Amino acid sequence: LPGLHVFAIAFALEVSVGKTNTVMALNNSNVLLPCTFISCIGFQDLVFTWYFNSTELVADPAPLPLQIYHGKIKNEASEPTVVWHNPRVEFVGSITKKDYNISIVLNSVEFSDAGKYTCHVKNPKEKNAQHNATIFLTVVHKMVETDNTVTLIIVGVVGGLIGLLILFMLIKRVVLFIIKKTQDGKKECLVSSSGNDNTENGLAGSKAEQKAPPKA
């Protein structure tokens, strides 16, 4: 009903299921179906319902949504009370904080539980404004770990190349150092045997030493 939808936005009753609307659960585990709603004006005798629409059964005409939890909340100060619920569904929400939480937990999920879960809220204080949000549940046999061989190959090759580069630089430095050391040894011998030319451009003291012998 489009008219009612516009009405709902105008009065700002909004239901949300969080950042993602898909949930994956392991067979035979308990899964949390999150749902929160906000209301600017506040609420009185609010009614909320969870529906389940199976995607496993394909029939013509399409099967009607199944009600799995029906509850009501008197006002912001009171806790939600249950009107009717499916025995496998457990209510875990609370109204104490600013964000009103009406999440449920589905116990021991089976493969037939996969499908569309709708969280529907109706607020009589906002002239019976309604809003809903849906989550898609999939049930898997086992959780598969993400495969990261591509990342490993890339990191391995880049790391190996950087290592080789560092090794190459180190070896180059060491070899040059050794060559310089052996050549320095040879140079020292040359300097001491000739004795005059190389030190003229150096310290002033050497020049004085040079001058002294001729005077004597």
Partner 1 sequence: MLVLLAGIFVVHIATVIMLFVSTIANVWMVGSSNFGTISTGLWLLCNKTCTQLPVSSRDEASLKAVQAFMILSIIFSVVALILFIMQLFTLEKGKRFYMTGAVMLVCWMCILIAVSIYTARFTGTMVYSTNPHHGYCFILAWICFCFSFIIGILYLVLRKK
Which residues are at the interface with partner 1 (CB under 8 A)? 149-150, 153-154, 157-158, 161
Residue 154's contacts (CB-CB under 8 Å, 6 or more residues apart) are: none
Q: Which is nearer to partner 1, 41 or 153 (CB)?
A: 153
Closest CA to 102 of 115, 114, 116, 85: 85
Q: How far is the CB of 167 from partner 1 (least distance, A)?
A: 14
> Could you tell me how far CA 129 lies from the centroid of its own chain?
35
* Comparison of 62 and 153: residue with beta carbon closer to partner 1: 153
Q: What is the nearest approach in angstroms of partner 1 to the Cβ of residue 178?
A: 23
Residue with Cβ nearer partner 1 (150 or 203)? 150
- Least distance in Å: CB of 156 to partner 1? 9
Place of tokens 């904080």: 97
Q: Smaller CB distance to partner 1: residue 10 or 157?
A: 157
Q: Is the link from the previous residue into 214 a cis peptide, with omega within 30 of 0?
A: no
Q: Which is nearer to partner 1, 165 or 179 (CB)?
A: 165
31 neighbors 137 (Cβ within 8 angstroms):
yes
Q: Whole-number minimum distance, CB 152 to partner 1, in Å?
A: 8
HEC letters along 115-184: EEEEEEEEEHHHCCEEEEEEEEEEEECCCCCCCCHHHHHHHHHHHHHHHHHHHHHHHHHHHHHHHHHHHH
Name the token pair of 62.
Answer: 């399409």
- Residue 168 CB, nearest approach to partner 1 (Å): 10
